[in-house]
A and B are shown apart, each in its own frame.
Chain A
Amino acid sequence: DIQMTQSPSSLSASVGDRVTITCRASQNIRNYLNWYQQKPGKAPKILIYGASSLESGVPSRFSGSGSGTDFTLTISSLQPDDFATYYCQQSYSNPRTFGQGTKVEIK
């Protein structure tokens, strides 16, 4: 299985801050990397697919980058609605695997 490692596990930030979350794959997954947002009691929601493609309807303050083994999710200006947990997930091979999550909390 491909292991996905996210960092940090949690972070505290203020509204308006630029936030960066990283995800590392245990082997080359090209650009088969997706980012999801999950709020308490809700199902995950796709934000970014193919490492850098923004899902329709997702605000442009979200962006993704990277290829191979190292990836980044950036929120350019954190908004109140963005406080949530973020997961990366590889879709290069089966079984699909998720990172352990990064919880973004209010500072």
Chain B
Amino acid sequence: QVQLQESGPGLVKPSQTLSLTCTVSGASINSGNYYWNWIRQPAGKGLEYIGRIYTSGSTNYNPSLKSRVTMSVDTSKNHFSLKLSSVTAADTAVYYCATEGYNYYYMDVWGKGTTVIVSS
């Protein structure tokens, strides 16, 4: 049973870089069985897809965020990470990580989410 847990600073200053980690348990991030996704949700609003990374390091980013997003995988720690640069108040949201199967096309396992507030 795959489980995901997001972690990272809950408060980030404007113009700085938001850094989050999603720790994977119950599966090897190196298995090749999943795409590792990030999604965010501003308070009271809908879901916004940020992007995904595969074990190989290949990525797909939302074009609206692509210039500011970097995703990576750390196989030694069995986690994957999100960095979002030059943040503004508009990046304040709950950030979720989620799996999408390599051979199926839906996100079936989600972390509980972590709230990030951008404020000075």
Contacts and interface: CB of A to CB of B under 8 A. Distances in A.
Given A1-B63, A43-B112, A98 B106 contact: no
Interface string B8-31: 000000000000000000000000
A87 B108 contact: no
B96 A95 contact: no
Specify the main secondary structure of chain A where it touches its partner: loop
Give chain A's interface residue range (CB within 8 Å of chain B).
20 to 34
A95 B106 contact: no
A49 interface: yes
B63 A46 contact: no
Contacts, number: 60
A53 B18 CA distance: 37
Given A1-B63, A43-B110, A43-B111, A98 B46 contact: yes
A44 B46 contact: no
A43 B61 CA distance: 21
Interface string A92-106: 001111111100000
Nearest to A94: B60
